[in-house]
Amino acid sequence: MPKIVDPEDRRLALANAAIRIISTVGLDGVRLRDVAAEAGWTTGALTHYFPDKRALLIMALQVSLDQRQRLLDTLPAEGDELRALLEQALPLDEERLRHWRVSQAFSVQSWSDPELTAIQRKAYRGWRRRIVNLVAKGVADGRLREDLDPEETADEMIAIVDGVALQALFDPDRWPPEKQRAFLDRFLTRISRQDRREP
């Protein structure tokens, strides 16, 4: 009896293979035969599920973003959820580093590609909204300073996380995981209620 193949499983496996390739050679270096080989299939099998390289790359970007979102959704609700969310976004291990490499590869490409821009903008806006909500919650429950504007603070946090992550990508010796965490903690201490200074 022939084996039943789930087309979505095959597409997902190929997208994940593309993610692994992109994280090592960038978008320009991606070749369909390399992605097929990474997944353990032939190029013909790949083209059965994707009409062209662009379709594969768009799914790879979406899968990478979806995987990141699922990981963030598994963070514990107890404790400092805001810190956990921001730390999870830093390239502290190989999996998160791979996500950052893929995201940066697509960021460059999206400058001239409205579809890629829209996908990344939607993901960023969702992440930002989550940070805004956590800052507002921290202000309301007294853990964060009451003078904080959640919208502005979220923008500042994203700028800090992105800045640290980019430096860690290009200069990992200067930005090991412990330094990334320490930098994040200094900012969070500054906005915490305990750090509030009376006039």
Rounded mean pLDDT for each run of 10 residues along the chain, 199 residues in total: 72 95 92 95 92 94 89 72 92 91 89 90 92 94 94 96 95 96 94 63
Q: What is the pLDDT of residue 139?
A: 95
**Contact by Cβ (8 Å): 38, 17:** yes
**Three-state secondary-structure class, residue 192:** strand
Q: What is the pLDDT of residues 123-159, one digit of tens each?
A: 999 999 999 999 999 999 999 999 999 999 999 999 9
Nearest to 139 by CA among 123, 120, 158, 154: 154
Question: What is the percent of the chain where pLDDT is above 70?
Answer: 92
- For 195, which DSSP code? G
Q: Which phi and psi angles does 18 have, rounded to 5°?
A: -65, -40
Write down the mean pLDDT value for the chain: 90
What's the rounded Cα separation, in Å, for the pair 103 and 57? 12
Q: What is the pLDDT of residues 101-133, one digit of tens each?
A: 999 999 888 888 999 999 999 999 999 999 999
- What pTM, to 2 d.p., does this model score? 0.84
